[in-house]
Amino acid sequence: MILVTGATGNLGKATINSLLTKGIPANHIAALVRDESKSAELKSKGIQVRIGDYQNFESLKSAFQDVDKLLLISSSSEISYRFEQHKNVINAARETGVSHIIYTSFDMKNLQQSIMGEEVRYHADTADYLKQIAIPYTLMDNTMYADMIPFLSGKDILINGISIPGGDGKTPFLPITEMAEANAVVLTSSGHENKEYVIAAETAFSFADIADLLSDITGKTIAYYQPEVGSYVAQLVQDGFPEDDAAYLARFAEAIARGEFDTNRSDVKQLLGRSPKSLKDFLRSIYDSKKLT
Ligand SMILES: NC(=O)c1ccc[n+]([C@@H]2O[C@H](COP(=O)([O-])OP(=O)(O)OC[C@H]3O[C@@H](n4cnc5c(N)ncnc54)[C@H](OP(=O)(O)O)[C@@H]3O)[C@@H](O)[C@H]2O)c1
């Protein structure tokens, strides 16, 4: 039995869809869900829904019965809780006899020394903890989602241009669906024990590059503006983000500007057996159909 945590979120849902596309029978897939009211779609596909909260160790032990491979999708709870929650999942997996844990970590030049501090350090702590536990593990070091670009770039970018203090920093943005397929490969094939994979595009792009790609796609010149960090936060708040989320996105922008995501590594082609979807194709899928004014 394969169990996917975070199954009501973007990456968890996409991973379960990839498993189904690969022909894994739905009754061989379990989904960890903390709020049963969100499980209707999973149940309608025949997925076994197991109720559990990363915060509640006993609930995890019940949920992990008969599980062989477990995909731990990193928590979206408040940052300070995340490492403890991940330890709960790992310890419950150990107690219930899970034979392989796959963890979605983060790919940066140095998680311990990032400008993002504790907002990313918990990934390194979780990876270290997993390595100490006597269960085979695989680390999926995910880069930034390409799906984050619309959130980071400001509102109505085809009209207003891209607005983010991202400097010339390059990031190998990758669509969530590609990361999900990489998860599904590791969950359904052998030889991944005690390995660490970088799940990133083969080419990294700056926001100036992204503006050029969008100009090409739309036939209209899309500008790239770099506001001060304070103005960027104010802009995000004006666009409807809560202040905390705006500040969080601004720290991502600062890390991007410093080139912290430009690690120049990718194991995606090796895992998928093909090159990942290009950023241009991803952007086209989002922006091409939009009406220009
Ligand atoms: N690489 C990137 O660019 C990037 C960007 C953003 C986030 N991330 C990280 O990657 C993770 C997955 O991304 P995503 O887009 O799929 O996030 P998401 O859509 O927010 O999904 C997070 C999932 O984790 C579940 N969860 C959170 N706290 C939990 C708890 N205490 N117990 C059990 N389940 C819990 C959520 O359940 P509910 O539906 O009940 O809330 C949801 O299913 C995020 O959680 C975050 O750590 C990465």
Structure tokens at 79: 């940052």
The Cβ-side half-sphere exposure at 194, using a 13 Å CA radius, reads: 6
Mutate to test the pocket of ligand 1, among 51, 59, 76 (most ligand atoms within 8 A of CB): 76
Structure letter (DSSP) for residue 170: -
Domain assignment present for 266: no
Helix (H) or strand (E) run with residue 95 in it: helix 79-96
Q: Which atom of ligand 1 is found nearest the CA of 176?
A: 15
The residue whose two tokens read 């083969």 is 202
Q: How far is the CA of 12 from the centre of ligand 1 (A)?
A: 8
The residue whose two tokens read 């309608």 is 44
C-alpha 75/C-alpha 54 separation (Å) is 8
**Cα dihedral value 272, 277, 278, 282, nearest 10:** -150
pLDDT one-digit tens code per residue, 8-51: 999 999 999 999 999 999 999 999 999 999 999 999 999 999 99
C-alpha 130/C-alpha 40 separation (Å) is 32
Domain enclosing residue 79, as ranges: 2-142
Domain assignment present for 237: no
pLDDT (0 to 100) of residue 290:
53
Is the overall model pTM greater than 0.85, yes or no?
yes
The alpha carbon dihedral of 33, 39, 44, 50 has a sign of: positive
pLDDT one-digit tens code per residue, 58-91: 999 999 999 999 999 999 999 999 999 999 999 9
Domain count, the chain: 1
Domain assignment present for 171: no
Which residues does a 6 A CB cutoff place in the pocket of ligand 1? 6-12, 34-35, 38, 53-55, 73-77, 85, 104, 142, 144-145, 148
Domain assignment present for 256: no
pLDDT one-digit tens code per residue, 243-282: 999 999 999 999 999 999 999 999 999 999 999 999 999 9
Q: How far is the CA of 183 from the centre of ligand 1 (A)?
A: 15
Q: How far is the CA of 216 from the centre of ligand 1 (A)?
A: 33
Domain assignment present for 228: no
Q: In CATH, what number is assigned to the domain containing residue 20?
A: 3.40.50.720
Domain assignment present for 37: yes
